[in-house]
Chain A
Amino acid sequence: MQYQADVTIELKSGMLDPEGTTIKRALEHLGYKTESVRTAKKYTIDLQAENVQTARETVEQMCQKLIANPIIHNYAISLRELQ
């Protein structure tokens, strides 16, 4: 089966996000007041797997071994079957 995973990587809460802070300031220049702006990265991964569970386990391993750095990141996986 063909699956598509959206992997979202973000800094753990409490960690400094200088890019987010800069964007927050720029929004203020435009007149928008925000509580906070935090950045995240999204990776879209297409893969073949026997079933949805195997696909999820594989992407989970990819996150732990490479895509995220568990010391500083949280990650979320959203998975769907492609027709």
Chain B
Amino acid sequence: MSIGIVQFGGSNCDLDVLHVLKDVLGVDAELVWYKEENLERFEGIVIPGGFSYGDYLRAGAIAARTPIMNSVKELAESGKPVIGICNGFQILTESGLLAGALTTNDYPKFRCEPTFLRVEATDTPFTSKFKKGDVLSIPIAHMEGNFYADESTLSSLEDNAQVAFRYVDKDGKVSDEANPNGSKENIAGILSSKKNVLGMMPHPERASEEILGSKDGLKILESMVEFISKK
């Protein structure tokens, strides 16, 4: 089993994800430069955070149009798990693999801080190790993380249980104060309709070891690994 971590020019969380998968979880993982188009050897894909192509045009817009993303789409269509973190989430919405868009934070500043997330869906390859309603501490680091979708898209995301995580306070309550960027319905992460593609603004790889202050993010990657090994 091997997991591929896609590197674009400007990706910068690629090595952190590699470290967590290889050194913390002991899984075979490999960096894949964006010019490579054959992803058949991978059982799952991570699109890491960063500032691909300097956020030119819109965050994630250029990376979403590279040929490797066609291969990521094929891999996702075959049912294999794909997770996009931060810029990776922006790339997934820009490429149409996930619904909605990520726009500038309502208070237009780069926010890098811990957030609390509530687990909203557990029947997914990424959240099977949680219970519904679990509150996680996982940090964000972004300026374009304001999730936007029109009302009909939002209600279909809710109806199909495609909201994975919401920003909440430490007691698990949704509030405006707990929303760091103005996201609609406090949405921090969403799933594709088949649930095998997850995009999230918070960084699970930055909450994967004791020394980092939280290990809540590790369970997301662990769930993904377990999903792959059970297949």
- Residues of A whose CB lies within 8 Å of any CB of B are 11, 15-16, 18-19, 22, 65-67, 69, 71-72
Contact B101 A18 (CB under 8 A): no
Stretch at the interface among B6-14, B104-112, B129-137: B104-112
Question: Within 8 Å of chain A (Cβ to Cβ): is B227?
Answer: no
Residue among B106, B107, B148, B182 making CB contact with A72, cutoff 8 Å: B148
Give the shortest distance, in Å, between B10 (CB) and chain A (any CB). Answer: 18
Residue among A16, A22, A71 making CB contact with B146, cutoff 8 Å: A16
Give the shortest distance, in Å, between B133 (CB) and chain A (any CB). Answer: 29
Residues of chain A lying within 8 A (CB to CB) of residue B22: none
A69–B61 Cα gap in the complex (Å)? 9
Contact B107 A71 (CB under 8 A): no
Residues of chain A lying within 8 A (CB to CB) of residue B103: 11, 15-16, 72
B54-82 with Cβ < 8 A to chain A: 57-58, 61, 65
Contact A19 B108 (CB under 8 A): yes
A57–B116 Cα gap in the complex (Å)? 47
Chain A CB count within 10 A is highest, among B106, B148, B149, for B148
A69–B64 Cα gap in the complex (Å)? 12
A39–B144 Cα gap in the complex (Å)? 16
A41–B58 Cα gap in the complex (Å)? 11
Give the shortest distance, in Å, between A63 (CB) and chain B (any CB). Answer: 12
Chain B CB count within 10 A is highest, among A16, A69, A72, for A69
Residue among B61, B101, B149, B182 making CB contact with A16, cutoff 8 Å: B182
Give the shortest distance, in Å, between A71 (CB) and chain B (any CB). Answer: 4
Question: Within 8 Å of chain A (Cβ to Cβ): is B205?
Answer: no
Shortest Cβ distance from B103 into A: residue: A72
Question: Within 8 Å of chain A (Cβ to Cβ): is B171?
Answer: no
Shortest Cβ distance from B109 into A: residue: A18
Question: Within 8 Å of chain A (Cβ to Cβ): is B172?
Answer: no
Residues of chain B lying within 8 A (CB to CB) of residue A72: 101, 103, 148
Shortest Cβ distance from A18 into B: residue: B108
Contact B104 A15 (CB under 8 A): no
Contact B107 A18 (CB under 8 A): yes
Residues of chain A lying within 8 A (CB to CB) of residue B107: 18
Contact B57 A18 (CB under 8 A): no
Residues of chain B lying within 8 A (CB to CB) of residue A22: 108
15 further A-B contacts with Cβ under 8 Å, apart from A66-B57, A71-B148, are A15-B148, A16-B146, A18-B106, A18-B107, A19-B104, A19-B108, A65-B65, A67-B57, A69-B58, A69-B61, A69-B94, A71-B100, A71-B101, A71-B149, A72-B148
